[in-house]
């Protein structure tokens, strides 16, 4: 709410408010000075607005006015999904890699710009247990180890359906968390149907 008073008596003491120039994102109630949002705001597009408010008294013969600045700061909210970088992901590994072997570095960035947030990595779908755990680093920035997927235990080889993305790490490509296994000894491979 914007407030202004005029000590004049009668209509000269009545004040009307307006923006100079008009704002495409905000409106002001001319009589009460209440500022309202009239279009959706997006922190990533514009994080602050500087508006000029004009207060004009209603004197019939010689109306007077004064300008004031109104600064509006937009606060960032968690409204943007993380995005994966360096897509698509496809990796070949040998069947006899040791446990803990780093398979592939997966990276994503948070599109919310206001305050940095860590990104957690989880495998949400895999073909019947070839990968048991996803190693999640404590941070996803340069101050800590990079996020990676590690092979923890291989129970058996199988063919599975393509993983489906989760809301927290959403992407429209179903292959983005897919890890292919390259079998170097084809005579020993047993595929479960």
Structure tokens given for 193: 């149907």
Nearest to 60 by CA among 6, 10, 5: 10
d(CA 54, CA 17): 6
Do 108 and 83 belong together in one domain? yes
Do 69 and 82 belong together in one domain? no
- Is residue 18 domain-resident? yes
Q: What is the reported pLDDT for 61? A: 83
Structure tokens given for 187: 């005579």
Mean pLDDT of the chain: 70
Q: How many domains does the chain have?
A: 2
Do 35 and 56 belong together in one domain? yes
Is this prediction's pTM over 0.95?
Answer: no
Last residue within a domain, chosen from 51, 73, 95:
73
| Domain assignment of residue 101, given as a range | 77-184
Q: What is the reported pLDDT for 119? A: 81
Do 130 and 47 belong together in one domain? no
Last residue within a domain, chosen from 54, 73, 92:
73
Note the pLDDT tens digit of each residue in 17-41: 999 999 999 999 999 999 999 999 9
Do 106 and 171 belong together in one domain? yes
C-alpha 141: how far from its chain's center?
A: 16
CATH, residue 177? 2.60.40.60
- Is residue 192 domain-resident? no
State the 10-residue block means of pLDDT for the chain, 193 residues long. Answer: 61 81 96 94 91 90 90 86 84 88 87 74 66 43 46 35 34 38 46 46
CB 176 within 8 A of CB 89: yes
Do 46 and 96 belong together in one domain? no
Do 65 and 151 belong together in one domain? no
Last residue within a domain, chosen from 73, 107, 128:
73
Do 118 and 95 belong together in one domain? yes
CA distances from 25 to 1, 44, 97 (A): 16, 15, 57
């Amino acid at each position: 709410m914007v407030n202004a008073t005029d000590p004049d008596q009668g209509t000269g003491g009545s004040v009307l408010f307006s923006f100079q120039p008009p704002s495409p994102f905000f409106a002001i109630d001319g009589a009460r000075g209440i500022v309202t949002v009239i279009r959706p705001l997006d922190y990533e597009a514009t994080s602050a607005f500087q508006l000029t408010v004009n207060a004009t008294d209603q004197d019939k013969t010689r109306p007077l006015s004064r300008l004031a600045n109104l600064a509006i700061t937009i606060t960032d909210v968690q409204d943007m999904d993380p995005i994966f970088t360096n897509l698509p992901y496809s990796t070949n590994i040998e069947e006899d890699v040791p446990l803990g072997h780093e398979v592939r570095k997966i990276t994503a960035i948070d599109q919310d710009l206001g305050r940095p947030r860590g990104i957690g990595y989880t495998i949400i779908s895999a073909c019947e247990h070839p990968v048991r755990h996803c190693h999640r680093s404590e941070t996803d920035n340069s101050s800590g180890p990079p996020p990676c997927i590690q092979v923890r235990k291989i129970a058996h080889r199988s063919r599975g359906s393509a993983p489906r993305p989760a809301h927290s790490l959403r992407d429209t490509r179903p292959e983005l968390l897919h890890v292919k296994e390259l079998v170097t000894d084809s005579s020993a491979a047993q595929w479960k149907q």
